[in-house]
Amino acid sequence: MFDVEKGGALCHPCSRKAGKKTPMTQGAAKFLARIVSTEFGKAARLKPSPALLEEINVVVTAFRDSRIQSKIRSERFFS
C-alpha cells in the first residue's frame, strides 16, 4: 500500500491505520526506490513493463492530486 497523503510505502499493519491509501505492489515500490536512487541518465533507460508503468502512474497521480488538492483538468488532453 501507498500512503497518498504522506507519500510513502506502508507495511500491512500500518496500512490499516492510514487514511487515504492506494494499492501498490512490492515490485512497484522497488522500482520507485530504484528510480530515486539512480542517476537521471541511467534511470531514463529503465524499462518497466506496461502493467508496472500503469500501477506507478496510478500511485503517483493519487499522490499528486492529494498534494495539490484537486485534479488537473488538462491531464486528459495529454494522455
Q: Report helix, strand or coil for 46.
A: coil
**pTM for this one?**
0.76
Q: Where are the domains of the chain?
A: 2-78
User: Which ranges in 1-79 belong to alpha helices (H)?
Assistant: 12-17, 26-36, 40-43, 50-68, 75-78
The answer to whether 52 and 35 have CB atoms below 8 angstroms apart is no
CA–CA distance from 73 to each of 57, 70, 76 (Å)? 16, 9, 7
Query: What is the chain's pLDDT, residue by residue, as a tens digit (79 residues)?
Result: 999 988 889 988 988 888 889 999 999 999 999 999 999 999 889 999 999 999 999 999 999 888 887 777 766 665 5
| Residues in contact with 35: Cβ distance below 8 Å, sequence separation at least 6, in sequence order | 43, 46
